[in-house]
Structure 1
């Protein structure tokens, strides 16, 4: 991954974090890593633990954000979330969900596409 791609991804994650905090969610962890991968954002929405996958798309022609989270990626996120909850046992009894937040031009003033319960579709 190029430095520009990493910078764009980091900017998109910061944008998504700020947006979600303005919607009332509270940040628990940012870029949590384990042997299975990474959780971009772990947030609390009321008493629900929300695992947020942030997808940045510079061009619409590259496909939608939700489509980019394929079955393999979902399985990795679920496994990482399970490990996170094992490590953070105080949160293990809370309800959980997986959200995807799609951002077009990171940092531009626009409404991101926030897909709640993205894996339930």
Structure 2
């Protein structure tokens, strides 16, 4: 298995962890790994009446930056563009939406520590 396919499988694993975590908190995941002109959106879900675009970030032990801190201004712009394109393509401009980050880190007691940062990226 080459590095690209291995990292994609690891990314899918962390997205599945995030999806289970969100589901346990009442979020309905409606799409995963959405690719469009703007870029990739890891997860899209509904948190009550709000459509939420989730960026999933994982950082292992010893990483200097947290998952949330690892999102560069360029990545933030891509996420906003991808979310905007999705809203436009699906005629959803009038609904409430936001971009959240699910930061996953290696845990000490449990396998993962998960932090849900709502409205992490402003459009």
- TM-score bin (small chain): 0.7 to 0.9
Matches of 2:10 and 2:50, distance apart in 1 = 28
Equivalenced residues, count? 118
Query: Which runs of 5 or more structure 2 residues have no equivalent in the other structure?
Result: none
Larger fraction in helix? 1
Could you list the structure 1 runs, at least 4 aligned residues long, displaced by more than 2 angstroms after superposition: 1-4, 59-62, 108-111
Query: Which runs of 5 or more structure 1 residues have no equivalent in the other structure?
Result: none
In the TM superposition, residue 92 of structure 1 has moved relative to its aligned partner by 2.4
Higher relative contact order (CA 8 A, sep 6+): 1
- Determine the structure 1 residue equivalent to 2:82: 80
Q: CA distance change for structure 1 residues 14 and 33 in 2, over 3 Å: closer, same or farther?
A: same
The alignment's TM-score, normalised by the length of structure 2, stands at 0.86
The alignment's TM-score, normalised by the length of structure 1, stands at 0.87
- The equivalent position to 1:16 in structure 2, one of 15, 18, 23, is 18
Larger fraction in strand? 2
